[in-house]
Amino acid sequence: MHNYPKSLIVGSTGLVGSLLLKDLGTKDGSILLISRRENEYLPQNASEIIINFDDLLCRNIELKEEVDHVYICLGKKLSTYELGYMPQENRESFQKIDLEYCLAAAELGFDKGAKSIAIVSAIGAEEDSFNFYFHIKGKLENSIKKIGYENICIARPGHLLGNRKDFRGYEIPILEGALRLASPIMQGPLKNFRQVEASKVAKKMVEVIREMDGFSILSYDDFV
């Protein structure tokens, strides 16, 4: 008798999360989604719980069954300029979504028996950074490490390419064009800032979390 894994995805309506869902939908095992809105695509092996994410912070969300793997793909929609400098008035909501919600979801999965977790972070994540975006991403990574998971996979992609459901800004095509032209000269540490297909990030996260043992950080070379 096979013991197929049960995966929890938090943030399955976003770019990477939706691709994770499609990938896991083709594999053995079952999927539980925690979402703020219904998914347009729901595989036969998936079930979904629609919540107010503030209830996560209040510990008002309970899972009826245990899970094996946790995938966290939550992230606030940001303007391009906010990656460089985030105005003070935008920082609270960003921290709530990209740190507090993610951490609460990770703790929920751990409490329900999960031994493995994969999260979407960002290249440049560093808790000591003066850049607020990188600071929060780094703080999330360090906080996840303290929960007690046996296996941790941190994906640190650069700019993500893919078909998004919402409008991201008129500057995005210009940014992507510039990154495409600059890609050959982005060598050494800069190589990790190259843009990458979100589908490759999702696929690698699933592959690693199902096979890994310990701690892993994924960057550009892992996604190509």
pTM: 0.93
pLDDT at 93: 96
pLDDT at 165: 73
pLDDT digits (tens, 9 = 90+) for 54-75: 999 988 888 988 999 999 999 9
Domain boundaries, the chain: 6-223
Whether the Cβ atoms of residue 102 and residue 76 lie closer than 8 Å to each other: no
pLDDT at 172: 82
pLDDT digits (tens, 9 = 90+) for 113-133: 999 999 999 999 999 999 999
pLDDT at 3: 66
Closest by alpha carbon to 68, among 130, 133, 159, 2? 2
pLDDT at 174: 84
Q: Which regions of the chain are under pLDDT 50?
A: 1-2
Q: Which CATH architecture has domain 6-223?
A: 3-Layer(aba) Sandwich (3.40)
* Cα–Cα distance for residue pair 70/31, rounded to 1 Å: 10
Residue 166's alpha-carbon distances to 13, 14, 85, 124, 176, in angstroms, are 11, 10, 22, 25, 17
